[in-house]
Structure 1
Amino acid sequence: MTITNDDELAGMQAIGRIVANTMHGMARAMEPGMTTRELDSIGRAMLEAAGARSAPEVTYGFPGATCISVNEEIAHGIPGARVLAAGDLVNIDVSAEKDGYFADTGATFRLGAVRPALERLCRDGERAMAAGIAEVGHGKPLAGIGNAVGRFAKKRGYTLIRNLASHGVGRALHEEPGEVPTWPNRDRRTVHRGLVLTVEPFLSLGGQMARQGRDGWTLFSAPVAPVVQYEHTVVATDRAAIVVTLPD
């Protein structure tokens, strides 16, 4: 989507707040002993109360309102009977639609204390996302996003999952400019004013690719390694990008 007026920006900011509030509300509610299905039901109730619909559910028939991925699961985890435990890394990915506008956000949360290497990975995952967002601006190369994330990852000793990319969003969950790499690349496309896209690097302690599990949805790291993901939906301007997925 390319935003051309204030009404469109307001629509994106409205759905952005909804998905952000839902994700953070779920994170506050999660506790050891809760199943991922129970956590998803909290997210569903929050989306419905805000008048929004789960984007993966209505777009792809995903079996849940939100994606919840725990520890070895790195993305697209199906809510179910899995029980959360202290020390888990829990990725909550919320995307939704309201009034014809779609927004997408995600983050990896620590359920209680985790070992220092994972604590550092989480902090640096947010920093890697910020490095990518800083490269979103009118006239800048799309490759700048992945190249900035790549420089950060290399400097800090991390790897990046190289087949899970950022994407256009706005009037659909996934739209042009299609896949936007969040790893070093030579993409020749450029960012233009008003472009709406996600920035969502997957930072890892050794993972290189995502492989699909037997359920046809859940993704795992190959080789096996801890992975975190942080994601915002942003709008390109002549200056700094506007982040629309911010909570109240």
Structure 2
Amino acid sequence: MTITKQAELDGLKEIGRIVANTMRAMAQSMEPGMTTRELDGIGKALLEREGAVSAPQSSYGFPGTTCISVNEEIAHGIPGERVIARGDLVNIDVSASKNGYFADTGATYRVAQVDPSLERLCRDGKRAMQIGIAKVGSDKPLAGIGKAIGRFASQRNYTLIRNLASHGVGRSLHEYPEEIATWPTRGDKRRINKGLVLTVEPFLSKGGVWAAEGEDGWTLYSEPSAPVVQYEHTVVATDRGAVVVTLPG
């Protein structure tokens, strides 16, 4: 989607606020002993209260309202009977629509105290997203996002999952540009047009390079097996850089 008028930006910001508030409330409610299904139920109630519709459900028939991925699960985890425990890494990904506008956000949370190396991975994962967002702006190269994130990851001896990309969003959950690499690439000459709506969502890892589908047909796992974190915002490209729309408020 390309934003061309204030009403479109307002609609996008509304659903952006809703998904951000939902994710934050889920994270604040999360505690050891809770199942991922119970956590998803909190998100479901909040979205319904705001008149928003789960995007993975409506777009792809996903068997849950939100995606909740624990430890070895790195994306698209199905909410169920898995019990959240102390020391877990839990990724919450909330995407939804309202009045024809879609927004997408995600973050990895630590349950109680975790290993210091995982604390650092989470901190650097959020920083990697921020570095990518800083490369968003009118007429900037799309490949600049992955180039900057890749440099950051390499300097700190991390890897990036190379088949889970950022994407266009706005009028549907996934739209043009369908795949925006958050790792270094060659040959992508596309540029970011003014008003373009997209996600920035690198998957930073301590050794993983690929996302492999599990037996349930949804949940993704790191290959080789390694800790992975993901942080994601929906942003709009402007002449002054990126405007983040998935902010709580």
* Aligned residue in 1 for 2:107: 107
Residue by residue, what CA displacement relative to the aligned partner does 1:92-139 show, whole Å, maximum 9, x if unpaired? 000000000000000000011100000000000000000000000011
* Aligned residue in 1 for 2:221: 220
Residue by residue, what CA displacement relative to the aligned partner does 1:51-71 show, whole Å, maximum 9, x if unpaired? 100000000000000000000
How large is the RMSD of aligned CA atoms in angstroms?
0.4
> Does residue 202 of structure 2 align to residue 195 of structure 1?
no
Question: For the residues of structure 1 that align with 2:148 and 2:22, how far apart are their CA atoms?
Answer: 29
Alignment partner of 1:236: what SS?
A: strand
Alignment partner of 1:241: what SS?
A: strand
Question: For the residues of structure 2 that align with 1:139 and 1:3, how far apart are their CA atoms?
Answer: 15
Question: For the residues of structure 2 that align with 1:240 and 1:220, how far apart are their CA atoms?
Answer: 33
* Aligned residue in 2 for 1:29: 29
Alignment partner of 2:184: what SS?
A: coil
Deviation at 1:239, TM superposition (A): 1.1
Alignment partner of 2:176: what SS?
A: strand
Letter in 2 for 1:60: Y
Alignment of 1:141-220 (within 5 A): 141-186=141-186, 187-220=188-221
Deviation at 1:240, TM superposition (A): 1.9
Question: For the residues of structure 2 that align with 1:134 and 1:234, how far apart are their CA atoms?
Answer: 11
Structure 2 gap segments, 5+ residues each: none
Question: For the residues of structure 2 that align with 1:139 and 1:197, how far apart are their CA atoms?
Answer: 14
* Aligned residue in 1 for 2:238: 237
Q: How many residues align?
A: 248
Runs of 4+ in 1 over 2 A off after TM superposition: none
For the 8 Å contact 2:89–2:108, the answer to whether it is kept is: yes
For the 8 Å contact 2:138–2:241, the answer to whether it is kept is: no
* Aligned residue in 1 for 2:118: 118
TM-score normalised by the chain length of structure 1: 1.00
Question: For the residues of structure 2 that align with 1:33 and 1:177, how far apart are their CA atoms?
Answer: 40
